[in-house]
Amino acid sequence: MSDEEGPKHFNFAERQRQKARARQRDEERLERGEISPRELQEENMPFRKLRRDRVAIYRNKKTGEFVWMSFERKRGAEDGSED
């Protein structure tokens, strides 16, 4: 049985090495000016493609259609008040 046929196991140490290399590459790109800190943050955000204006909450059992909700901030909510 070869390694490719066996079950896949998460290797914590290897993942730590991968993350360290990625952080080092990010630092080097920042130092060279290839990317701005804001661009790097956006690139590394796990949910950067999530649409806050249209999120499926659940599927209606009878119709099979999704029920949508918006999580966008209301105008004037920047200070925490919705008045």
**C-alpha span between 42 and 75 (Å, rounded):** 24
Residue 50: closest CA among 26, 71, 75: 71
Q: What is the mean pLDDT of residues 1-21?
A: 82
Q: Is the pTM of this model over 0.95?
A: no
pLDDT at 59 over 70: yes
- Report the chain's mean pLDDT, rounded to a whole number: 81
Residues 6+ apart with CB under 8 A from 58: 66, 67
Q: Which residue has the higher pLDDT, 1 or 56?
A: 56
What percent of the chain is predicted at pLDDT more than 90? 36
